[in-house]
Amino acid sequence: MSTTGADEAVTERRLHPVTPLRRAWAPVAVIAGWAVHDPDQAQRQLTRLTTTTLLTGLAVLIPAAALYGFLTWWFTHFAVTDAELRIRTGLLFRRTAHIRLERIQAVDVTQPLLARVAGVAKLRLDVVGTDKKDELAFLGVAEARALRAELLARAAGFAPGTAHEVGEAPSRHLLRVPPGVLAVSLLLTGATWGTLAAAVAVPALLWPATHSLWTVLATALPLAGAAGARSVGRFVGEYDWTVAESPDGLRIDHGLLDRAHETVPPGRVQTVRIVEPLLWRRRGWVRVELDVAGSSNSVLLPVAPREIAESVVARVLPGVTVPAPAALSRPPRRSRWCLPLWWRGHGLAVTDAVFAARHGLLRRSLALVPHAKVQSVRLTQGPWQRARRVADVRVDTGADKTVTARLRDADEAAELLRDQAERSRTGRRDARPDRWMA
């Protein structure tokens, strides 16, 4: 169908015909939610039902759910105009979302397991200034990828008439994380072993106090399950992690059951963190995490050798060189009275491109903030810090995150505060615009 405006004709499209099957579950989910919320009442009501009443209820509920799914699909349309993506939804109450193309910062294609079986995909959009992602669920896989390419082409400045012909930008494969390496890295994660240790130690302490097998099992099993679920969940989500480079940013594909095709948009990365757990250091492995303004993308590399990770970081932050550990200056020795032992884990390096702060003794984390992404800089100093003549310098980014250089000499911190404000001003002036590359 189409609608005609004052100066343009817009062709509206519907979602994939399989969408009603997904939306038909909504009434059933409401009933299931009520049953979970009040199980005693739900059980009493269920025992009162006769077989005839139950069958009659199902005969009404199933067609009603199917009708609801069909109507919500029928009244959902989307269209791409010269300036925006327009999504109209609502059965009783209409809602129209107008998404300006120049404010789109990421377009991801995801496929949950059942969607992969049905050959459909979700199109999820990160938009500047919104916390919740807008999505089109579901589209055919080919249609989702074509629409993604069209949106990125228009956001990059291509004319509407040629955006359809541009297609998906070519990509160059950079790396793939082998499943074996991912599995070993998860086994060497301290959080996993810490939870397993708690699953052994806590029951051992409870048994002499309670002599109750049920109490011990009720404590041990959830702790052991939490350790396994954490590792298995990360393995499933980060399986077959692949990174490729394209003009519209770094493309990331991952997932064993649910596949995700994500893009790290150029110019929108606010902070890069290089995380180095204790048990990874002998192998030279690191994890790279991101803070992207308005986006849920938070991992760039789940595990990789440090040299490879630094080369990928250089593509996310052009012109940035990761400071070597020896280049990070430690806090003065007198700061050990503020943070005994752990003060050694902090460090700071300021280059022409980034503000780099490290924290952590067992699990090191080096945060890199480009000067152009610093929104504000603050100096904080508690009473004990004033007594030791040290202070913290905090920089705030556009992703509502803060990176802190802790326990710096007070005079150094004051000078750093002044210099960082100037670096941020000149960095924003010289930075490239946050737009998709043509």
Please, is 299 exposed, middle or buried when counting C-beta atoms within 10 Å of its C-beta (0-12, 13-18, 19+)?
middle
CA distance 123 to 153: 16
Please, is 184 exposed, middle or buried when counting C-beta atoms within 10 Å of its C-beta (0-12, 13-18, 19+)?
middle
Q: What is the pLDDT along the chain (438 residues), one digit of tens a residue?
A: 544 444 445 688 899 888 877 766 666 666 676 666 677 777 777 777 777 877 787 788 778 878 877 888 888 999 988 888 999 988 778 888 888 887 787 788 999 888 888 889 999 888 776 666 678 888 999 899 888 888 877 776 665 666 565 667 788 999 999 999 999 999 898 777 777 777 778 778 878 877 777 777 777 777 777 777 778 889 999 999 999 998 778 899 999 999 998 888 767 889 999 999 999 999 999 999 999 876 666 899 999 999 999 999 999 998 889 999 999 999 999 999 999 989 999 999 999 999 999 999 999 999 999 999 999 999 999 999 999 999 999 999 988 899 999 999 999 999 999 999 999 988 887 766 555 444
In sequence order, which residues have a C-beta less than 8 Å from that of residue 151 and are 6 or more positions away?
Answer: 80, 85, 101, 104, 107, 125
- Say what the pTM is: 0.80
Token reading at 255 = 């997932």
Taking a C-beta distance cutoff of 8 angstroms, is the pair 238, 254 a contact?
Answer: yes
Task: State how far Cα 157 lies from the chain centre.
Answer: 27
Taking a C-beta distance cutoff of 8 angstroms, is the pair 12, 1 a contact?
Answer: yes
Give the total residue count for the chain: 438
- Angle (CA) 184-189-191 rounded to 5° is 145
Residue bearing tokens 């807008």: 134
